[in-house]
Amino acid sequence: MAALATQGGVWFAARRNAQTAADLAAYAGVAQLAWQGSGSTGQTAASSVGASVAATSSFATERDPQTGAPGRTTVRVTPGVWAANTSTFTASTASPNAVEVTIDQTQRLGLAALISSTAPVVRVRAIAAITNSSDACILSLTGQTTITGNNTIGAPNCSINSNRQGTSIDCGTSAQIDILAFRAVGEVASQCDGLAPISERQIPASDPYAHLKGVTLPTFQNNDCQNTNTNGNQPIRSTTSTGSLWQPRPYNYNSGNIAYTTLTAVCDDISLQSGDELRLVPGTYFFADASLSVHGGTVHCPTCTSTTGVTLVFTQLTHGNGNNRSSNRFGNISITGGTVTLQSPTAGPWYNQTYTRIDPVTGNQETTSIFDGIVIYRDARAGPNNAKQLDTMNAPNTAQIPGNSDAVNINGGVYLPTSQLFIGGTAAVGSTQDDCQSMVAATIQFTGNSDLSLAGCAARGTSVVRNRVLRLVR
């Protein structure tokens, strides 16, 4: 009886050791997804590292060297999707956020063969997932997030982030900051000490607008932008007693099998001074090698409702069809003054390409328009390819928002994945509980005072940056 009890103890110890190995392997595997992405590279690394960690704990898949038949131990490492709202795991190669590890090991019977001919099997399972912990208003994807000079930044419900290795975040010595935290993949400079809670060497924060990098935008050529074009897509500019009135003309644009409705191509720069007005209607505006500069005046959408809005896309004008421009260049935006009120669309027929995401209100998976919730996007093909340029604010690759006072209110996602972003001026980006400022760029620099909020993002349908942590969920 003592021998049988000892044998049972050996089996329970094997189960405990197998569970520990599975936990470690799942955690190590999902860490690869977090650092290398959910694509094929990350999935391959997750499977390889997970199996290696299990083997280090003395649990490796065994095969008969002669026949190749399964041996006593089988280890399976499977990337997949963990649905937190239902606590379910589904094996999947489509954007996995979790790794499942199962270990089966047949035990030796020993003295137990006297009472049973069936060997017991230790079977354990562990799931580790990338889970959201908090929200961020600001994310530099590849460069630094820098706060220069004597700035005041108010964002008490969200963090300021950088996914850059090395020095990720730097601060001015006289800055006054009220934020949830600094979170960095690398280090936060010592000048930031005491200004806000600091979390260093974190896993990269999520990029909620990464789907736009793979989107093929409409191709605009010179004849798409002529005033004489039957589409009539150029801005109408008329002089009033107080200045110039710009009213871009929407038109239907068809490219292959994709039709875009309420779409406007703007191919000449628009520059507003005091007394000027840019009057928009709900829709998508493609600034094709054209920039929007607001030094004064008014930019607004008088007919926008709570669910409608505008998306400004800064892209290029291609060669051909009479285009006499010397190179392919990308439009940009600079707001240094005036009164600007822009909000993203929450839904609508503005641009009928779709993608699948997690709904920011319900948390459920949904299919939506690619520009829903986004108010400003600069083409991912713009900007420097040289990493050394990422922290150098240089025209024409630097966008600038907002402007002065509370006159500038930009509600929605701002995405400049390969460009620099100045958040400048002397005033708040937004100041009410319904505002939504979710800004993602290659490099971000604060040069003025700002108030940031994500309170209104769910209502605008705007996905936001999520700070992520690794957890054993089963």
pLDDT tens string for the chain (474 positions)? 666 666 767 778 889 999 999 999 999 999 999 988 888 999 999 999 999 999 999 999 987 777 767 788 999 999 998 888 788 999 988 888 899 999 998 877 766 656 666 778 889 999 999 988 889 999 999 989 998 877 788 888 899 999 999 999 998 777 788 889 999 999 999 888 888 999 999 999 989 998 888 887 877 766 666 544 444 556 677 777 778 888 887 655 555 444 445 577 787 888 999 989 999 888 888 888 889 999 999 999 999 888 889 999 998 877 544 444 445 578 899 998 889 999 998 865 456 677 776 655 555 666 778 888 899 999 998 876 544 455 666 666 888 886 434 688 889 999 999 999 988 765 444 445 568 889 999 999 988 778 888 888 888 889 899 998 999 999
CA atoms of 385 and 332, how far apart (whole Å): 17
Rounded to the nearest 5°, which phi and psi values hold at 91?
Answer: -60, 130
CA atoms of 208 and 192, how far apart (whole Å): 26
Q: Which residue has the tokens 């390889």?
A: 48
CA atoms of 80 and 127, how far apart (whole Å): 10
- Report which of 262, 254, 419 is spatially closest to residue 348, judged by C-alpha positions: 262
Cis peptide bond upstream of 218, omega within 30: no
Residues 6+ apart with CB under 8 A from 262: 250, 281, 282, 283, 284, 348, 349, 350
What is the number of other CB atoms lying within 10 angstroms of the CB of residue 203? 18
Tokens for 351, please give them: 């641009």
Tokens for 297, please give them: 């005046």
Tokens for 393, please give them: 């604010």
